Chains A and B, each alone.
Chain A
Amino acid sequence: MNLAIELPGLSLKNPIMPASGCFGFGREYGEFYNLSKLGAVIMKAATGSERFGNPTPRVAETASGMLNAIGLQNPGVHKIIETEVPFLSQFDTNIIANIAGSTLREYEEVAYAFNEADKVHALELNISCPNVKEGGIQFGTDPSMAARVTEAVKKVSHLPVYVKLSPNVTDIVSMAKAVESAGADGLSMINTITGMQIHVPSRKPLIANKTGGLSGPAIKPVAIRMIYEVSQQVNIPIIGMGGIQSAVDVLEFLLAGASAVAIGTANFQNPFICSDIIDELPSVIEKYGFHSVQEVIGKGIVS
């Protein structure tokens, strides 16, 4: 069974990769299985300098999912290039760097810095983190701002750029088209959906940041709908994510038009989830009458 997929900058042996922020830099889950098994690894967001993130509590459980407001805690792009990229590059897999910033300038700086890291294969441009407030600019919800940051990053970077879209918008297709026109090589979708939980005994929002991003199976129908809509309107590939828990879920994303998938929250319940899904994928693809991953992409779209 051929699980391989070719995407801009990425030769994936299979379409499975852990999602940004849910896998750190691979060190912890690397104690459970050999990361060479993965199609790619998407690293935790990198910002210009070290960020300590939000106060705790940073997570809350919900029905079929969870809220998080980590606040992009990371050691900063230079430390990541120095210590984390070399760790991940020991494995026979692709490395995708997730980049974030509070200003256009910071995005450019971080993207530029990754030019030096010759083991990084692509950038995932995180314009959609709902947990960062600085600058007051919403890169992820205004199509013209999204286009500007995409253009700026494309200009300074040698790497293919996958723009990670926020679902917290009314018109996802216009966001996708805006970043495609600005030069995006691919899309990554979806990021988390803004939510909140009130802790009843204390009568206060449970998460210290008050709001958090909803992830997990609860958001899967939203992700499928958005990928289904967007994949018909753009000519760049989509890395799909949002609530994937099984190989059948992966098939559903491929049918909706994703070319590869990322798995986030499910790692917390089962540290082996990516590995298990890679093992199960061939038989699931076969069970539903397909012969390769490539063949499945977009086959769920009805005219």
Chain B
Amino acid sequence: MMLKDKMKIVSTTYIAKDTIEMVLENSNITEFAVPGQFLHIHVGTHTLRRPISIADCNKQLNQIKILFKVNGEGTNKLASYQQGEYLDVIGPLGNGFTMDGETNSTVLLIGGGIGVPPLYYLGKTLKEKGINIVSVLGFQQKDHVFYEQQFQELGETLIVTDNGSYGYKGFVTDVLDQINEFDCYYSCGPIPMLKALTTKLKGKNGYISLEERMGCGVGACFACVLPTMDGTSYKKICKDGPVFQAEEVTL
């Protein structure tokens, strides 16, 4: 169910360096949202909308949280919007994470930078289903770290920074040996991280969420395709993804 609607900005808060948490309210879009989906947000006079993941959703309050990093002109404009203003949003878009884990199974969440947000709504939803959560979150450096507390509430959480200014030093893949058995992993982050990760965890049941520059965001323009693993077909990130089974696509 794709909708185009106005979402009211309930609050907007800086939670780390250049990183904003925004709470948006709209009953229609929240009703259909599931973890892993995204919103396509119109900003200022920009021709193209900006895709931003749903980081949390409260269906009682009709609220969705997004977390975004100021990256260029569009996200800078988005950061300038104030509480009480409305955003023009298409959503919820894409397919969410498959959540077929059994009660008491263990799931590993691996997030890199601005890939962390969709994993929060996922982790929260999985925990409600009685699944154990372990998280590994990677950030550039100390002042970029966000949502450590929120992930701690879901389960054991390891923080990694590139330069070691907070938590472990290195990349998320460097600490995976410290994690005990898990049944399934979910990951979102930069492509080099996902490549390293899917190689290291080859054979494990896993899902990854991908990014690509988008035109329409709804599946009509073929801007965001990637080849399937066997090379005979393709998938659209906006419509068939952004979440894929780790072994389904070629990075």
Instruction: List the interface of chain A (C-beta within 8 A of B).
Output: 21-24, 27-29, 31-32, 44, 52-53, 56-62, 64-66, 68, 70, 73, 216-217, 265, 267-272
Contact = CB atoms under 8 A, between A and B. Distances in A.
A268 B4 CA distance: 12
Contacts of B217: 268
Contacts of A59: 48, 213-215, 221, 223
> Interface of chain B, helix or strand or loop or mixed?
loop
A53 B221 contact: no
Contacts of A269: 42, 47-49
Most chain A CB inside 10 Å of its own CB: which residue of B74, B90, B216, B219? B216
Interface string B203-230: 0000000001111111111111111000
For the complex of A and B, 6 pairs with smallest distance between CB atoms: A24-B220, A59-B223, A28-B220, A28-B218, A57-B213, A73-B222
Given A22-B221, A52-B227, A271 B47 contact: no
Given A56-B225, A57-B212, A66-B215, A32 B220 contact: no
Contacts of B221: 21-22, 24, 59, 68, 70, 268
Contacts of A57: 212-213, 223
A56 B212 contact: yes
Given A32-B2, A70-B223, A58 B218 contact: no
B216 A268 contact: yes
A171 B213 CA distance: 34
Interface of B: 2, 4, 42, 46-49, 74, 90, 212-227, 234, 239
A219 to B, nearest CB: 12
Contact of A58 (B2, B46, B222): B222
A272 B4 contact: yes
Given A28-B239, A271-B90, A61 B48 contact: yes
Contacts of B224: 56, 58
A243 to B, nearest CB: 10
5 contacts: A22-B216, A28-B219, A61-B74, A268-B48, A270-B4
Most chain A CB inside 10 Å of its own CB: which residue of B90, B216, B220? B220
A56 to B, nearest CB: 6
A220 B89 CA distance: 26
Most chain B CB inside 10 Å of its own CB: which residue of A53, A61, A62, A66? A61
A22 B215 CA distance: 9
Contacts of B234: 52, 73
A217 to B, nearest CB: 8
A101 B240 CA distance: 28
A28 B47 contact: no
Contact of B215 (A31, A44, A268, A270): A268
